[in-house]
Structure 1
Amino acid sequence: MTDRERPSDWQLYRRLISYVLPYWYLFALSIAGYVVYSIGNVLLADLMQFLLDSLNESDKAESGLVARAAYALLDAGDMTRLEFARIGVPIAMIVLAFTRSMGYFAGNYFMNHVARNLIHQLRIELFDKMQLAPSSYYDNNSQGVLISKITYNVEQITGAATKALKVVVGEGLTVIGLLGYLFYLNWRLSLVFMLVAPCIAVVVSVVGKHFRRYSRRIQDSMGDVTQVSNESIGGYREVRLFGGQAQQSARFAAASEYNRNQSLKLAFVDAFSTPVIQTMLSIALGALVWFALNPEILSGFSAGSLVAFLTAAGLLGKPIRQVSSIQSIIQRGLAAAEDIFAQLDLDDEQDTGIYRVERARGDIVLRDVSFTYPGTTQEVLSGLNLSIRAGEAVALVGRSGSGKSTLIQLLARFYPLQNGDITLDGVSIADYELANLRRQLAMVSQDVTLFQDSVINNVAYGDLSGASREDVIAACQSAHALEFIERLPDGLDTELGDDGGGLSGGQRQRLAIARAILKDAPVLILDEATSALDNESEHRIQRALDTIMRNRTSIVIAHRLSTVERADRIVVMDAGRIVAAGSHEELLAEGGLYAQLYHQEFSD
C-alpha cells in the first residue's frame, strides 16, 4: 500500500468511532465524568483566589467562582472574610477533591468499558474474517503473521482506545477548562500563552509521522517473531532431530533484533519530543509571568486573582505534556487500525452459488480443467478431463507435484476455477451454495487437524455437533478408534491437548476417519488416509474404509498398494495431466508410469 493509498488519520478515527456509536451512552457518561474532573481542576486554581483575598481582607474575596458558591450556600453572618474562609476553604477543598475523584472514576471506568467493547468487536470481526478468507489469503500470510494480527495488532488499538482516549479526553477537557478560566480572568494576557500552541502543533505533527512509520515496522517484525516462535515450538522434534537449534535461534534473534531497533527508534522520538514541548511551555509560562508582573496589568488583579491566574497557567503544563506525549500510543493504535481495517476490507471467499441439494448422488465430471496457483505462473493442472460415476471408487496416483491434491482442493472450491468446469450431478460446483457443496464431501487427509476439546466434540465437530452420543460411538467403533478411546482417562469426554497432543499419529488419524464416517457424505475423499498407521492398524482400518466407501463416490490418493488396488479404477497423473487409467492389473500390464511407480513405491 502506497502512502497515497493509505487512509488519513481522520478516516481511521472516523471508522473507529463507528465502533463506539453503539455504546454512545457509556461514552457520554465518560465524557460527563471527565467534564466534572476538569471543572474540579479549574476550581482548585480558583480556590487560591478565595484563600489569598480572604487573608488580605480584600474586597474581591467574594468575586471568585468558589467564593461565590461558598457565600451562596453558607451563612457568613457577621464573620470576617478570614473567619468565613477558615470554614469555607476546607469544606470547598473536601467537596472539590471528592467531586474530582468521582468524575475521574466515572470517566476512566466508562471509557474503559467503551474501549474494551471496541476491541472485543474488532477482534471478533477480524477472526470471523479470517474464517471466510479465501485460501490464497493463507498462502500469502504465514500463520505467525495472522496470529500476530489478532493478538498484538489488536492490543495496540487497546492502547489507543483506552489509555490514549482517556488522556486525550480527560486531560484535553482540563486544558480547555483551564484556558477558559484564564480568558475569564484576563483574555489579553491569555493570548500570550496561546502563541506557543502552533509551535506545539508542528512538533506533534512531525513526530507523529515518525511514530506511524516505526509502528508499522514494529507490527511487521512482531509477525516475524511470532512466526519463528510458532515454527520452532510446533516443529521442536524436527528442530532437535536435525540439529537446527542454532539456526532457529539465529532467525529468532534477527527478528527480535529488528523489532528492538524499531522500538528504540520510536522511544527516541517519543523521549525527544517531550522535552521540546516542555521547553516551549516553560518559555510561554515565563513570558506570561513577565507580562503579568507589569504594573499596568497588575493594577487589574487582586493578589488572589493573580495567584489564581498563575496557578491555572502552571497547571496547564501537565495536561498539555500528557496529551502531546500520548502521540506514540495513538500512532501505534492507528497503524494497527490501518492494518486491521485493510484485512476486514479484503474480499471473502467467493460464494455466488444458490443451488442446494439435500444429498447428492455423487456423479463428478471434470472438463478441460486447468489451474495455476495465484501468484505463480506454473500450470499445475492442464486440460484435465475425468468422469467419476456415483458410487465408484477412483484412486489418483502419480509423482509428488502431479496435481492430485490440487484436484481435490478445486473440487472442494478452496480455489475458484480458472479454466474448464467441474460438475456434481450435472450441476457446476460454482452454482452450488458453498456450504451446501461442502456438506456433500467428507475428507480424511494425511495432516489430521484436531482441536483442543473433548474427543466426542472432535468427532462430532461443526455441523455434526448435533449427533447423538450413540452415533458417535458407532462411528468410532467403525473406525477402530473405540478401543483406544476407552483407555483414555475420561473416554469420549477426555480433553485433548493442542492438535491432539498425547495421541499417536495412528490414533489421531482414526479419529479423523470416525469424523468422516459420522458425516456420512455422498462423496468421500481419502488423501493418504492410512499413512500414519502400522500394517496391522491399516488392515483393520481398511476394512472400515471398505465399508464406508460402499455405495458412495470415493476419491483415494495413496501411495500404499493395499489402498489403491481396491479401487474400481486407477487414474495415473503426471505434470497436471492424466496419462493412464484402468484397473491395477491393466496398468501393470501396460508397463507405463504406474508400473514404474509400483515397483518403486507401491511394493509392500
Structure 2
Amino acid sequence: MGFTRPYRGVLLVAMVGMLLEGAAAGAFGLLTKPMVDETFVARNQEFSLLMPLAIVGIFVVRGVAGYLSDLFMAKAGRGIARDMRVGAMAKYLRLPGLRFDSEPVPSMLVRLGSDSDQVAQAAIDSAKVMLQQSLQVISMLAVMLYASWRVTFVVLLLAPAIAWLMDKVGKRYRRFGHRVQESATELMLAADQALSNQQEVKVYGAQAVEMQRYSSLANEYLRLNLKVEATRSISSAVVQLTGAVGLALMLFFAGREAMEGRLTAGGFVQLMLAMMAIIPALKQLTNVQGMLQRGIVSADRLFAVLDAEDEPDSGQRPLQRTQGVLEFRAVQARYPGQTQAALSRISFIARPGTVTAIVGRSGSGKSTLVKLIPRFYEPESGQILLDGHALNDYPLAALRRQVAMVGQQVMLFDGSVVRNVAYGELQQADADAVARALRAANAMEFVNQLPEGVDTHIGAKGGKLSGGQRQRLAIARAMLKDAPILILDEATAALDNESERLVQEALATLIPDRTTLVIAHRLSTVEHADQVLVLDEGRLVEQGTHVELLARGGLYAHLHAMQFREAGT
C-alpha cells in the first residue's frame, strides 16, 4: 500500500475505466431482452433501427474505458516495480557488511529483478484482472437478476462450490509458488558459479559435474512449474465444468419459467448471454491465483530486504578531517554462527605519518581487522577510537570520508578511466588533480597509450585492462581522495616487481601526513614499516619493527624464513 500511494490518481482513473467497462457490459446485457423481444418477436421496425446505434455507442464507451484502465494500470504497475527495484537497491547499499557475506550477489539480483516485477504484477496486474472480472461477474449477475431472479437464485447455489475451489487452488499455488522461486534462485546461483569460474571448471575437467548439477536443478525447476501449470489447468477445467452445470440448471429452470409465462424469449437470451459471460470471467479469476501467489512469495523475499535494519548510524560528533590517531582497545569480532572469534582482544595504536603492517597466515583476521575501521563490520566487544573518540560517535558518512581503501578485489565500472578514478564524491575533481593521481600511481604510462586516453572506456569491471593496470587505477583513486587514513589490503599484489617498486615509491609520498595500514603476504614489502602486527588465528601474537621481530625468532621470523627460502628456490 505504501508503494501505491504516489499512484493514487493514476489508479483512480484506471478504476473509473474499469467501472465504465463493467457498466457497459451490463448495459449490453440489458439490451439483449428488448433486442430479441422487440425486433424478432414484436417486429418493431423503429426499435430495430435504434438498437444497432445503441450497441455501437456501448462498445465505443467500453473500448475507451478499457484503453484507459489498461494504460493507467500499466503506468502504476511498472512505476511500482521501478520504485521497488530502486528502493531495494538503495536498501542493499545501506545494509551492514555481514549481509553481503550471507547472501550471494546473484540472489540479490533476483530480488532486484524478477521479484520486483512479480510483486508489481500481483499488486497491479492481478488486481486489474480481479477487479475487471469481478465487475463483469457482478454486472452480469445484475442482468440475470433483472431477467429472472428465480433462475438466478438456483444458479447461485453453485457459488459455495466455486469459492471452495478457489480456496483450494490458492493454497496449492502458495505451496508450490515459494518452491518455484527458490528453485529459480538456486538455478541462477549454479550458473553464476560455473560461468564465473569457467577457467577452473575447464582445467579440472568439471564440465560434466557442473552440467549434472545445473541439469538436476533445471529438472526440479521444470517439475515444480509443471505442478503449477497442472493446478492452473485442472482449476480451469473444473470452473468450466461448474459453469456448464450452472448453464444446464439455468436451461432447465428457464424452461420451467417460460412455460409458466414468467420468462420471454428475450429474457432467456439475456440469461444465456449473461451466464456465458460469467464462465470465462470465473476462469480468469481462478487463473490469476498463480500470478497472485508468485507475487506473495516475491513480496516475502523483497520485503525481507526492505524491512531489514540499516547499518547503525547514530553518531553526532562533527568530523571534518581527522588527525588519524587510531587505537584498538581489546577489540573482539565474531562472524554470526561462528564459535571461534575472528579477532580476539586486539590492542594497538596507529599514528599519523606511520605505516602499520599487518601480516599473518591466511585466515588469521587481517582483512577483518581493517574492515572494522570504516565500520563495514561492528566489533563484538572492545573499542576502536579515532582521535580519542569511539568510531560510533561519528556519522558513518563523515567517518568514511576519512578513509581511502584499496583492496584485493579491485572495484571498477564500465566507464572511462577518469570516471573510475574521480569516483563518487571525487567526481568534481579537476583534470589536473586526476592526472597527478594517475602519475603518482604509475598509471599514466599505460593510460596515455589507450585509444582515447583518460576518456577511454575500460569495460565491465575494467575487463579491457590487465590486473596490474586495474590495480594502479584503484591506487590512483585512493591518492585522489587524499584521505588521512590509508588502508592497503594487498594493494600491490597484482603488480610486477618494477611496477610494485614504482607504486611503493609513490605511496611513500603520502605517508608523512597519513595513518597507513598495509596488509601484505610478501613480507619484503613491509620491511620499512614503523610497526608490524603479526596475527595468528585472530590473536595479536607479535608486535614490533621488522628488525625486532626477526631478532625474536617467533612466528614473523618463521614466515619470513619460509618466504626467503621460496624466493631462493
Say yes or no: does 1:46 pair with 2:8: no
Tell me the distance in 2 between the aligned counterparts of 1:193 and 1:305: 16
Residue of structure 1 aligned with 2:348, choices 378, 386, 409: 386
Query: Paired residue for 2:478?
Result: 516
Say yes or no: does 1:585 pair with 2:551: no
Offset, 1:188: 2.5
Say yes or no: does 1:310 pair with 2:272: yes
Task: Answer yes or no: is the 8 Å Cα contact 2:122–2:294 preserved in 1.
Answer: yes
Query: Paired residue for 2:225?
Result: 263
Tell me the distance in 2 between the aligned counterparts of 1:172 and 1:477: 69
Query: Paired residue for 1:13?
Result: none
Query: Paired residue for 2:2?
Result: 18
Task: Answer yes or no: is the 8 Å Cα contact 1:367–1:383 preserved in 2.
Answer: yes
Query: Paired residue for 2:436?
Result: 474
Q: Equivalent residues in 2 for 1:195-214 (5 A)?
A: 195-214=157-176
Offset, 1:257: 1.9
Distance 1:117 1:444, change over 3 A: same
Amino acid at match of 1:392: T
Amino acid at match of 1:35: L
Q: Secondary structure at the match of 2:311?
A: coil
Residue of structure 2 aligned with 1:491, choices 430, 446, 453: 453
Tell me the distance in 1 between the aligned counterparts of 2:523 and 2:365: 20
Offset, 1:572: 1.5
Say yes or no: does 1:29 pair with 2:13: yes
Query: Paired residue for 1:137?
Result: 99
Tell me the distance in 1 between the aligned counterparts of 2:26 and 2:8: 27
Tell me the distance in 2 between the aligned counterparts of 1:369 and 1:295: 88
Residue of structure 1 aligned with 2:409, choices 434, 447, 466: 447
Query: Paired residue for 1:75?
Result: none
Worse-matched range after superposition: 142-151 or 237-246: 237-246
Query: Paired residue for 1:87?
Result: 49
Amino acid at match of 2:335: Y
Offset, 1:476: 0.9
% of aligned pairs identical?
38
Worse-matched range after superposition: 340-349 or 248-257: 248-257
Say yes or no: does 1:280 pair with 2:264: no
Q: Equivalent residues in 2 for 1:413-562 (5 A)?
A: 413-562=375-524
Offset, 1:500: 0.8
Tell me the distance in 1 between the aligned counterparts of 2:154 and 2:428: 73
Offset, 1:185: 2.4
Q: Secondary structure at the match of 1:571?
A: strand
Tell me the distance in 2 between the aligned counterparts of 1:94 and 1:482: 74
Paired residues, number: 566
Tell me the distance in 2 between the aligned counterparts of 1:37 and 1:161: 20
Tell me the distance in 2 between the aligned counterparts of 1:482 and 1:269: 63
Task: Answer yes or no: is the 8 Å Cα contact 1:440–1:521 preserved in 2.
Answer: yes
Task: Answer yes or no: is the 8 Å Cα contact 2:258–2:264 preserved in 1.
Answer: no
Offset, 1:165: 2.2
Cα deviation digits, residues 217-264 of structure 1 (max 9, x gap): 111111111112222222222322332322222222222222111111
Query: Paired residue for 2:288?
Result: 326
Amino acid at match of 1:19: F
Amino acid at match of 1:496: I
Tell me the distance in 1 between the aligned counterparts of 2:259 and 2:446: 92
Q: Secondary structure at the match of 2:332?
A: strand
Gaps of 5+ in 2: none
Residue of structure 2 aligned with 1:55, choices 39, 50, 74: 39
Amino acid at match of 2:354: E
Distance 1:101 1:596, change over 3 A: same
Task: Answer yes or no: is the 8 Å Cα contact 2:73–2:124 preserved in 1.
Answer: yes
Offset, 1:422: 0.7
CA RMSD in angstroms comes to 1.6
Amino acid at match of 1:565: E
Cα deviation digits, residues 61-94 of structure 1 (max 9, x gap): xxxxxxxxxxxxxxxxxxxx53213321221232
Tell me the distance in 1 between the aligned counterparts of 2:407 and 2:564: 19
Query: Paired residue for 1:216?
Result: 178
Cα deviation digits, residues 546-594 of structure 1 (max 9, x gap): 1122321100111224421121122222122222222222221222111
Q: Secondary structure at the match of 1:215?
A: helix
Distance 1:356 1:271, change over 3 A: same
TM-score by length of 1: 0.91
Cα deviation digits, residues 370-420 of structure 1 (max 9, x gap): 121112111121111111122211111111121111111112211112111
Query: Paired residue for 2:140?
Result: 178
TM-score by length of 2: 0.96
Tell me the distance in 1 between the aligned counterparts of 2:375 and 2:204: 37
Tell me the distance in 2 between the aligned counterparts of 1:602 and 1:287: 94
Offset, 1:163: 3.4
Say yes or no: does 1:112 pair with 2:96: no
Cα deviation digits, residues 286-321 of structure 1 (max 9, x gap): 111111110566512222122112211221111111
Task: Answer yes or no: is the 8 Å Cα contact 1:392–1:554 preserved in 2.
Answer: yes
Task: Answer yes or no: is the 8 Å Cα contact 1:147–1:226 preserved in 2.
Answer: no
Distance 1:297 1:146, change over 3 A: farther
Say yes or no: does 1:572 pair with 2:534: yes
Tell me the distance in 2 between the aligned counterparts of 1:298 and 1:567: 107
Task: Answer yes or no: is the 8 Å Cα contact 1:486–1:492 preserved in 2.
Answer: yes
Distance 1:419 1:543, change over 3 A: same
Query: Paired residue for 1:408?
Result: 370
Gaps of 5+ in 1: 1-16, 59-80
Distance 1:362 1:539, change over 3 A: same
Q: Secondary structure at the match of 2:510?
A: helix
Offset, 1:184: 2.2
Task: Answer yes or no: is the 8 Å Cα contact 1:218–1:259 preserved in 2.
Answer: yes
Runs of 4+ more than 3 Å apart: 295-298
Tell me the distance in 2 between the aligned counterparts of 1:413 and 1:602: 36
Distance 1:185 1:297, change over 3 A: farther
Task: Answer yes or no: is the 8 Å Cα contact 2:383–2:390 preserved in 1.
Answer: yes
